[in-house]
A = this chain, B = another copy of it.
Amino acid sequence: MLRHENVEWFGMTAAESILAGDRLALSRLLTQVENGTKEGQAELDLLFKNTGHAHLVGVTGAPGTGKSSLVNQIAQVVRKAPEGTPRSVAIVAIDPSSPFSGGAILGDRVRMRDLAGDTGVFIRSMASRGALGGLAGATAGVVQVLDAAGFDLILIETVGIGQSEIDIACLAHTTIVVENPGMGDDIQAIKAGILEIADILVINKADRPGVENTERALRVNLELGYPDGGRNHFLGEIGHLSENGSDAGQKPGAWIPPVLRTIATQPSGIPELVEAIWQHREYLVNSGLLAKRDQERLEHDFEVTLQAHLKEDWKAKTDPSVLRTVIEQMFRRELSPRQAVDRLI
């Protein structure tokens, strides 16, 4: 009898079941990955060779801008694509923690109504429940599993708070930043620096007053950020690729984030947004940036895993009483954290 090192259901590993399209196995593995179990990690390793197919889209912005509705509408438009085969969509909704919240539950009910019964759509809500540090890692794992499971488009929705935006900008191929009319007119809003992570800017609730001002403010700031019509913005990155010869002779123009108006509740402007997503993917593929971003992400995962292992190894061979003594000297401010580390290594 063939023996697997991993959990078996009906004679198949979870990884095999997931690749065969088993949604129950998928949900189970996602839970394991979220909880960081060893079994989950082993299955992730098995599935890793099947990743790299999906297009990953991060959707971020301040609370209340209508990200959830927008994500639902994007999913519906992608599923109803008139030409060719509609693509399959996975939605990962990240709700940072609030025990106050209930937001995740409510959001999911709305989702269920809009997207129910479509087997080409898979929805996963993640609540960090206070584990602020661990959310990014768990999300990366969840996205990897969904990628391996064969979803064409993965929409990752984060509430605009904490580490999530920056982490999502690292994780996603395309980052959509959602604003509302009345935002962006203010120096403070520009100060936010969120424009830097945006590949596509969306002004949702565009039927509200002030939409022209917001659009103008965003465009002016984009022009400030992309002098020369944006020609220089990606020069650093593309220049770097050219040195390595990987895109020699191929120099597409830079990507200037479009500013789009939507009304998710009508809906209005969604097909144009979906079109912009695919255009951005095309740009990334043609410029070699897709491969480059992918490699950077893998290198980052590698570094994080390496650091965790090195720390574990070190702790295993360090005398706990010596460690305790040094930490207490640090608490008494006799040693700085750096001096404490020097003392121990």
| A residues lining the B interface (CB < 8 Å) | 41, 44-45, 48-49, 51-52, 62-68, 95-104, 106, 130, 132, 159-163, 165-166, 183, 186-196, 221, 224-225, 295, 298-299, 301-307, 309-311, 313-314, 327, 330-331, 333-341, 344-345
Contacts and interface: CB of A to CB of B under 8 A. Distances in A.
A95 B339 CA distance: 30
Contact of A341 (B97, B196, B305): B305
A192 B225 contact: no
Given A314-B310, A330-B302, A338 B187 contact: no
B311 A299 contact: no
A101 B166 contact: no
Contact of A193 (B52, B66, B162, B333): B162
Nearest to A96: B193
Contacts of A345: 306, 309-310, 313
A45 B338 contact: yes
Contact of A192 (B98, B132, B186): B98
A154 to B, nearest CB: 17
A162 B106 CA distance: 25
Q: Secondary structure of the A side of the interface?
A: helix
17 contacts: A48-B339, A49-B334, A62-B62, A63-B188, A66-B188, A96-B191, A96-B193, A100-B224, A106-B187, A161-B165, A162-B166, A298-B337, A302-B340, A305-B338, A306-B314, A307-B307, A307-B310
Contact of A160 (B41, B166, B192, B225): B192
Given A96-B192, A188-B63, A333-B52, A41 B338 contact: yes
A193 B309 CA distance: 31
A193 B101 contact: yes
A302 B224 CA distance: 40
Count identical subunits in the complex.
Answer: 2
Q: Which 5 A-B pairs have the closest CB atoms?
A: A103-B191, A48-B336, A301-B337, A98-B193, A64-B188
- Output the residue of A44, A166, A337 with the most chain B CB within 10 A: A337
B162 A63 contact: no
A189 B64 contact: yes
A161 B309 CA distance: 30
A132 B194 CA distance: 12
Contacts of A313: 345
Contacts of A193: 95-98, 100-101, 159, 161-162
B327 A103 contact: no
Given A49-B333, A307-B307, A309-B345, A192 B161 contact: yes
Contacts of A301: 337
Contacts of A100: 190, 193, 195-196, 221, 224-225
Contacts of A302: 327, 330, 337, 340-341
B159 A192 contact: yes
